[in-house]
Amino acid sequence: MSSMSRRRFLTLMVAGLGAAACGTQSDGTATTVAPTASSIPPPTTAPTTSTTAPVTSTTSSTTTTSAMPPPEQIDVICKEAWGALPVAGDFTPHAIDRITIHHTAVLLEENALAPARLRQHQAFHQSRGWPDLAYHFMIDAAGNVYEGRPVDAVGDTGTDYDPTGHLLICCEGNFDEQELPPPQYETLIQMVAWGAAQYGVAPASVQGHRDVAATNCPGDRLYGPIADGTLAGDVAAVLGEDREPTVICGEAAFDRVAEIEGSGA
Ligand SMILES: [Zn+2]
């Protein structure tokens, strides 16, 4: 079962990127970047590829509402569902051998804004000439995970390090200015545990962006648990649980995004 879902997951992750622009993004300006809407495939068309997931029936929109995915799976909201633009360039393949944590450096006061922020980040990253969102996975304040650049593609960065080999996991928010929400941290633990097991990365070696480049990323409050070993300990504690990120798409994923955007939380 788990090998199945892993295979499915890898198959799905077709495009991705990584890199961090933490801090370089002019952030606040988010509102200027608009609406990718026009280029986003309408919910009804995209989905089917069926990529999907174990996640239950597509008909009952309420089923997936819970923020807690089933124990064996970490739902990853597909790019179509969060409104990603098409990939705009070629990816460079790589093999992951380390994990690096980022923040977006943009204060996230309402999680309902998370999907819109993602669209802005991706548009901004593509405006820099990058093919896609710089990161492989994004985690919002409520602990939802979003599909970014394919994991087998090197990420991008506006800073001075080579992201080749780095699995880039980015938490939405500015953790120099805001606290790290517990649900976001819980999901980070699960994602890092998966990455550590999948790629043979020692939990103690998981680093923050600032460990490899001149940046404040991932912000003091997110860097704290990385630097003092708390994250490594929390990851080690769940290593055997074998939860895997699984991309969900189709109606279930679109409903999830609509729910997040309408939550106001
Ligand atoms: Zn970063």
DSSP state, 103? E
Average pLDDT over residues 215-230: 98
Residue 172 Cα to ligand 1 midpoint, Å, equals 11
DSSP 180-244: --HHHHHHHHHHHHHHHHHHT--GGG-EEGGGTSSS-TT-HHHHHHHHTSHHHHHHHHHGGG--E
Residue 86 Cα to ligand 1 midpoint, Å, equals 23
Query: The pTM is what?
Result: 0.76
Residue 21 Cα to ligand 1 midpoint, Å, equals 6
- For the chain, the maximum distance between any two Cα atoms, rounded to a whole number of angstroms, is 48
Residue 114 Cα to ligand 1 midpoint, Å, equals 17
**Looking at the domain that runs over 2-263, which CATH code has it been given?**
3.40.80.10
Residue 16 Cα to ligand 1 midpoint, Å, equals 16
Choose among 134, 123, 105: nearest CA to 19.
134
Average pLDDT over residues 232-258: 95
Residue 87 Cα to ligand 1 midpoint, Å, equals 21
- The predicted pLDDT at position 76 comes to 98
Residue 47 Cα to ligand 1 midpoint, Å, equals 31
How much is the mean pLDDT over the chain?
Answer: 82
Question: Please, where are the H alpha helices in the chain?
Answer: 2-12, 79-82, 114-127, 182-199, 220-227, 230-238, 250-263
- The predicted pLDDT at position 64 comes to 46
- The predicted pLDDT at position 63 comes to 46
Residue 232 Cα to ligand 1 midpoint, Å, equals 19
67-116 pLDDT tens trace? 555 567 999 999 999 999 999 999 999 999 999 999 999 999 999 999 99
Angle at 86 between CA 84 and CA 88, to 5 degrees: 125
Choose among 133, 220, 224, 140: nearest CA to 186.
140
Residue 55 Cα to ligand 1 midpoint, Å, equals 31
Q: How far apart are CA 5 and CA 54, in angstroms?
A: 9
- The predicted pLDDT at position 261 comes to 97
16-74 pLDDT tens trace? 333 345 644 433 333 333 333 334 344 443 444 444 444 333 344 444 445 555 567 99
Instruction: Write down the domain spans for the chain.
Output: 2-263
Q: Helix (H, G, I), strand (E, B), or coil: what is residue 88?
A: coil
